[in-house]
Structure 1
Amino acid sequence: MNDNAYWFNYDIELEDGQSTRFHIALDPLTLTMKPASPEPFPPWTELSYQQCKCCRLSPNTHLYCPIAVNITELVDRFKDILSHKNCMVVCETADRTYSKRTSAMEGLTSVFGIVMATSNCPVMNFLKPMARFHLPFSSVEETTARSTSLFLLGQYFEFKKGRVNRFDFDKLEKSYARVQLVNEGLLARIHSVGKRDADKNAIITLHSISQFLSMEMDFSLTTIAHLFERGPDA
């Protein structure tokens, strides 16, 4: 991995003193995450195991699901942690440090989000630019603004290359509909791994966000539209 890799260190400290660090490094050119766990991988990471309905990969060429491989460590460490358990989460980047006292579920949701977006899953690759500007603990409103803004910026570059001649959210809406299928597939993969629910609820939260974003595309981004309304003297 290039020394210029974009990196994120997540430190999660539970209220009982248990502490875990996750290091995430992205290739500066491809924005693909450096593999988080070495082989051998558990059986539930095999591509053919509970393969997502929208998966574009073939077990003939890809033995493992790229996302499953990268969340193996997360699932293993948190499979028996209750999702509502309090913790302190610190995310350190090259530019700044974020911290929040929150639930294990919200902390894991933030980690899952960037891992899923950068694991080189063909369905999730459209989220790589947003992962480059990762915002830990982002609200639904923040996620909506970031995802739509970056999508339109991407459309602008496509327009300059002559690849598109109109801007709309139809493509983005369809992309998020496929993200929902990936979330469902990952949930099915890890459903029997742990006794409790923090890792599962993190994916459920991501699933809820992707459902919300898909709905927002249909309803003209109503939660952020008011931010752009100008008064009569503006």
Structure 2
Amino acid sequence: MDQHDITINYSFDLANGTKKRFLIRLDPATSLMRPSSNSKAEWTKLATHQCTCCRLDRERIGHCPVAINIADLVTAFRDILSHESCTVSCITTERTTIKETIVQDGLSSIMGIIMATSGCPTLDILRPMARFHLPFATVDESMFRIVSVYLLRQYFIETDGGKPDYHLDRIKQYWRQIEQVNEGMLNRIRYAAELDADKNAIVILNCLAQILPMEIDENLNSLRPFFFRQETPLDP
């Protein structure tokens, strides 16, 4: 397996000619390598709208790791509307993905990977997906990846002598906490951004977090057809 740092380049080319570039660097363990110039704005302090599920100690950790790492994005898009047209490209070592879209969709894609790799204990369950980042993932693609990665995690838990959760009994609890983190980030951004692009990017991520528990309650029936073909009954 490749043990080198992982780089992901995101580019936003807005219809008005504005260009914004962001470089994400992950170490071989898929943790975000933070630039030394990260903002320490008031809204990034851990005590500011601290998430209800937060396990970090505000006496020991002064700033929320997620807020610190999305601060440059929030600043860059604070005066941009969510529905503005743009071309977003995501360049990795393996491939380049380009999409004509709107700002909020591109932002939710890059925010998702930064939040998952920032060192938040609650979001760490999403970190393995960052190595195989899929930009602009649809709801079905996201559900498929999330559940597949979760079940693979259970396999490794079992091989390490732990108790696996192959029946997805605990996954809803994890996602309720992820919802709480998204809501906490949304509350922070409300005080940092003037317009709605950053806020709507978080809303998109939170919608996915809300959909997953409902899908689990429905036994993941939306994914079942990908595995079992519905045969057309023969005429008598």
TM interval, shorter chain, is over 0.9
What one-letter code is carried by the residue in structure 2 that aligns with 1:14? L
Equivalent residue, structure 2, for 1:7: 7
Equivalent residue, structure 2, for 1:63: 62
Q: Is 2:38–2:71's contact at 8 Å kept on the other side of the alignment?
A: no
Q: Is 2:154–2:166's contact at 8 Å kept on the other side of the alignment?
A: yes
- Give the Cα separation in 2 of the matches to 1:87 and 1:95: 23
- Give the Cα separation in 2 of the matches to 1:45 and 1:165: 35
Q: CA deviation at 1:165?
A: 5.1
Equivalent residue, structure 1, for 2:93: 94
Equivalent residue, structure 2, for 1:20: 20
What one-letter code is carried by the residue in structure 1 that aligns with 2:21? R
2:203 corresponds to 1:200: no
Q: CA deviation at 1:123?
A: 0.3
Q: CA deviation at 1:37?
A: 5.8
Name which of structure 1's ranges 209-218 and 59-68 shifts more when overlaid on structure 2.
Answer: 209-218
What one-letter code is carried by the residue in structure 1 that aligns with 2:209? S
Structure 2: runs of 5+ lacking an equivalent: none
Equivalent residue, structure 1, for 2:132: 133
Q: Does the C-alpha gap of structure 1 residues 20 and 165 become closer, same or farther in structure 2, counting only changes over 3 Å? A: closer
Q: Note the 1:28-177 alignment, pairs <5 A.
A: 28-29=28-29, 31-36=30-35, 38-164=37-163, 167-177=166-176
- Give the Cα separation in 2 of the matches to 1:165 and 1:68: 32
Count of matched residue pairs:
231
Q: Is 1:37–1:72's contact at 8 Å kept on the other side of the alignment?
A: no
Equivalent position SS for 2:222: helix
Q: Is 2:26–2:32's contact at 8 Å kept on the other side of the alignment?
A: yes
Q: Is 1:37–1:73's contact at 8 Å kept on the other side of the alignment?
A: no
Equivalent position SS for 1:102: strand
Equivalent position SS for 2:71: helix
Equivalent residue, structure 1, for 2:182: 183
Provide, for residues 147-166 of structure 1, a one-character-per-residue CA deviation record: whole Å limited to 9, x for no partner. 10111111111112221255
Q: CA deviation at 1:231?
A: 4.7
TM-score, normalised via structure 1 length: 0.94
Q: Is 1:37–1:70's contact at 8 Å kept on the other side of the alignment?
A: no
Structure 1: runs of 5+ lacking an equivalent: none
Q: Percent identity?
A: 42
What one-letter code is carried by the residue in structure 2 that aligns with 1:155? Q
Provide, for residues 11-46 of structure 1, a one-character-per-residue CA deviation record: whole Å limited to 9, x for no partner. 0110011111111111102x1101146255111100
Q: Is 1:45–1:64's contact at 8 Å kept on the other side of the alignment?
A: yes
Runs (4+) of structure 1 exceeding 2 A deviation are 230-233
Q: CA deviation at 1:6?
A: 1.2
Equivalent position SS for 2:105: helix
- Give the Cα separation in 1 of the matches to 2:165 and 2:197: 42
Q: Does the C-alpha gap of structure 1 residues 102 and 232 become closer, same or farther in structure 2, counting only changes over 3 Å? A: closer
- Give the Cα separation in 2 of the matches to 1:217 and 1:177: 13
Q: Is 1:89–1:100's contact at 8 Å kept on the other side of the alignment?
A: yes
Q: Is 1:85–1:104's contact at 8 Å kept on the other side of the alignment?
A: yes
- Give the Cα separation in 1 of the matches to 2:211 and 2:7: 28
Q: Is 2:154–2:164's contact at 8 Å kept on the other side of the alignment?
A: no
